[in-house]
Structure 1
Amino acid sequence: MNDFSFAMLPGIEAEEMMWLQELTKSYSAENKQRFLAVYQGRRKDPQTILICSLIGFLGVAGVQRFLVDQIAMGIVY
């Protein structure tokens, strides 16, 4: 598995890709593949989070926390 596998993630930016490459540089190819599968499944679209944060200013505060599975913080907001 090469470092270009991270480039296939939808909407990934250069800074995030460099961070992932640095994080996984000591991983074996099999571990990188597992990491990529888990990371891709848990990764949220940054634009969706931004839109929900903006909605929080106009209406329901903390709605973005529910999207990132931080239910308690969403209720606190």
Structure 2
Amino acid sequence: MSGVTKWWARLTAALTGAALTLVIPVHAWAASKGLDTVAVEAAKSRRRRGGFGFFPIFGGICCLLVVAAIVLAFVLISRNRKRR
């Protein structure tokens, strides 16, 4: 493993650890304060507006494009590994 790859792995692990160190306590605090019920009620009370029916289709297309990009990146990376 090259030096750059080792440092990249270490940096990624450190950032993931830092993010989890912050996210888990904040989530526990929000759940203990009852903020989860506020979010659920806000989502339930949101009104449906007419004329915006294409947004779910747009969201689905966007999701498919993201999944396709991830699969394409995986295929390209695995092809480059086989050539060596």
TM > 0.5 fold call:
no
TM-score after normalising by structure 1? 0.29
| Higher-Rg member (1/2) | 2
Q: Which has the higher contact order (CA 8 A, sep 6+)?
A: 1
> Relative to total residues, which structure has the larger helix share, 1 or 2?
2
TM-score after normalising by structure 2? 0.28
